[in-house]
């Protein structure tokens, strides 16, 4: 139980730390580009249009929505992370029980087979003695 709690705490902390950049990344992926491209130069010295980077977009979002705006969507990410950790822990728990059960069944089956072998030898010996 302490292991699952520490995993949830660590995962939640990392999610909180990475949320601003993940939020900006998702906005860029869906085509949200509020800042115009700028003229710059590439490594060969040619003029090219450049879009602002993650940190420029983050500053722009913080200037419009405040720093709290960078944490939009944090609650669903935290809930999904905690839910995923809990489900993963339960699956491992059930899997360990089934492995133990299958090991016990395998041992019981082997004992059963050995018991039948020993009984069958006894039956064959009795049968051969009684037929003579």
Question: pLDDT value at position 126?
Answer: 47
82: tokens are: 């905690």
On the CB side of 70, CA atoms within 13 Å amount to: 21
Backbone angles phi, psi at 40, to 5 degrees: -145, -175
Question: pLDDT value at position 71?
Answer: 94
Question: pLDDT value at position 83?
Answer: 87
| Alpha carbons 27 and 70: distance in angstroms, whole number | 11
Question: pLDDT value at position 87?
Answer: 85
Please name the residue ranges forming H helices in 49-132.
54-65, 74-131
102: tokens are: 């299958």
Whether the Cβ atoms of residue 62 and residue 69 lie closer than 8 Å to each other: yes
Question: pLDDT value at position 25?
Answer: 92
Q: What is the dihedral of CA 62, 65, 71, 73, to 10 degrees?
A: -140
| Alpha carbons 60 and 15: distance in angstroms, whole number | 22
Q: What averages of pLDDT result for each successive group of 10 residues across the chain (132 residues)?
A: 76 91 91 88 91 90 93 92 84 75 62 64 50 50
Measured in whole angstroms, the distance separating CA 26 from the mean position of its chain's CA atoms is 20
Residue of 81, 82, 26, 79 lying closest to 54 (CA atoms): 26
52: tokens are: 């602002």
Question: pLDDT value at position 115?
Answer: 66
């Amino acid at each position: 139980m302490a292991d699952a709690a520490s995993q949830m705490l660590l995962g939640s902390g990392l999610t909180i730390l990475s949320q601003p950049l993940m939020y900006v990344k998702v906005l860029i992926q869906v085509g949200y580009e509020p800042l115009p491209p700028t003229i710059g130069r590439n490594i060969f010295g040619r003029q090219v249009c450049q879009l602002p980077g993650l940190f420029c977009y983050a500053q722009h979002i913080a200037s419009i929505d405040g720093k709290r705006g960078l944490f939009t969507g944090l609650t669903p990410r935290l809930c999904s992370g905690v839910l995923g950790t809990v489900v993963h822990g339960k699956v491992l728990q059930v899997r360990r029980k089934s492995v133990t059960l299958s090991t016990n069944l395998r041992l019981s089956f082997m004992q059963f087979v050995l018991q039948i072998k020993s009984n069958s030898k006894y039956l064959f010996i009795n049968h051969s003695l009684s037929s003579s």
